[in-house]
Amino acid sequence: MINYDTSLTVNKKQLKSLNNFWLGFIVYTFSGLPSNTTYVSIVICQGVQIIGVILMAISIIYLIQFKFDNQYLKFIYILYCAWLFTLLLKGFQFLTNYSYLKDFLFNPYEGMLYFAPLVLLFPRNLVFYKKVFDVIAVCGIFYIIYNTLFIKQVLSADRSSVTGTGIVETLSDLSFSSGFVVLTYAYHHRKRQWLALGVVSLAFFFAVIRARRGLTLMYTEIVLVSYILYVFHSKMKFLIIYLTAFIALLGVFYVSGVYRPHENRLFGSLLERGNENTRERVELYFQDDMKTKDWIMGRGIRGEYFCPDVEENQLTNYRQTIETGYKQTILKGGLISLGLFLLIAVPAILKGLFFSKNILSKIAAIWIVMCLINSYPGTVNAFTLQYLLVWMSIGICYSKNIRNLRDDDLKKLFQAVT
């Protein structure tokens, strides 16, 4: 008999606010992505994004609850949010600058990023998580639609095409979250499983085509972890392992003996860039320009570092971004930001992996681990579904009620949630 804990339900007001929040998020995200492709008017896209921001802001007021599962999380989380608020205050002077105000609102890597941790204060219940799965599915459908619209640019024969590369990187904000559904496949119906798997496979294919090494690595992680989980829970482990080894062996002979991968349309560009170090100059400039105080406290939300002659048509000798995610965190908020986040994330990982009775909690922990790993080849910290899932996963791992649910009961509860 399942014990329906009250923490696994929401009232009508919360449900309405939850729906409005995700509607606002969808409007904000889907209207913002086309503006990065240069094919749609930025003014129109940002006008629609404002509607999304308003919907999310109003909803958050009714959703956040200052309830914590233990005193440690409460203490560190308050410190972390206080530090982020300090960084926002330091950048407050820039709000009078129209250009900065637009970046603050409409760039997911700028101001909106600092509101992502508020998701941890949302009701930690299965209704919330079921809504998240629905949003992931919507993102996957729109990912396919957007790629259909821009397929010519994405598959352009010009491997150095900035437009095609930019579209692949931009649309990854929609596709990567499908990996969470692939990892938690046991809780989803067959159609959603196939949709998520198709989106991840398509995204991996496009990342290889455009030679995006970081994205390729990130999608490979999802596939490998999903495969390991499937093998572990499958009743035909020996047959699966045997077939995998056999196919891999054939692949090795095919590639090494017959195939010339560097001449191939699919893998050629990726292999050409395999040993190319495109970040060394940027990171050397970054390290040379950062002082001890900057490493500790960061340079604020408008922080820059001296980095001349790296990008074509570079307007100034200073850059506000560095493609290595953890260094981007240090640039803006210093080791204080990074350290406080790790103090929240690491215990969550341990609780989810070793002190839980269900796959959902373990996958939540793995998702956080992947976030930390992916902070080297890419920038995870942004107001995207991928990063919101990190804070959602932290909430799952700290929730004793959720961690103690068994998989069979959890599946039934998900089925009961409408």
% of the chain residues with pLDDT over 70: 78
The 10s digit of each residue's pLDDT in 263-297 is: 444 444 544 554 555 567 788 888 888 899 989 99
Q: Is residue 57 part of a domain?
A: yes
% of the chain residues with pLDDT over 90: 27
Q: Is residue 342 part of a domain?
A: yes
pLDDT at 375: 84
Q: Is residue 332 part of a domain?
A: yes
Average pLDDT estimate for 159-164: 59
CA 409 to CA 392: how far, in whole Å?
20
Q: Is residue 250 part of a domain?
A: yes
pLDDT at 81: 94
First CA to last CA distance, the chain: 20
Retrieve residue 61's tokens.
């007021």
CA 371 to CA 387: how far, in whole Å?
8
Q: Is residue 137 part of a domain?
A: yes
The 10s digit of each residue's pLDDT in 72-97 is: 999 999 999 999 998 888 766 665 66
Domain count along the chain: 1
Taking a C-beta distance cutoff of 8 angstroms, is the pair 161, 153 a contact? yes
Helix orientation angle between 12-32 and 42-63, rounded to the nearest 10 degrees:
160
Q: Is residue 1 part of a domain?
A: no
Q: Is residue 158 part of a domain?
A: yes
At 245, is the pLDDT very low, low, confident or very high (cuts 50, 70, 90)?
Answer: low
At 313, is the pLDDT very low, low, confident or very high (cuts 50, 70, 90)?
Answer: low
Retrieve residue 74's tokens.
């409460």
This prediction has a pTM of: 0.84
Length of the chain: 418
Average pLDDT estimate for 224-249: 62
pLDDT at 258: 44
Range of the domain at 309: 6-416
Taking a C-beta distance cutoff of 8 angstroms, is the pair 112, 383 a contact? yes
Q: Which distant-in-sequence residues (6+ apart) come within 8 Å of 44 by Cβ?
A: none
Q: Is the pLDDT of residue 260 over 50?
A: no
pLDDT at 393: 95
| 3-class state of residue 319 by DSSP | strand
pLDDT at 105: 82
CA 110 to CA 115: how far, in whole Å?
10
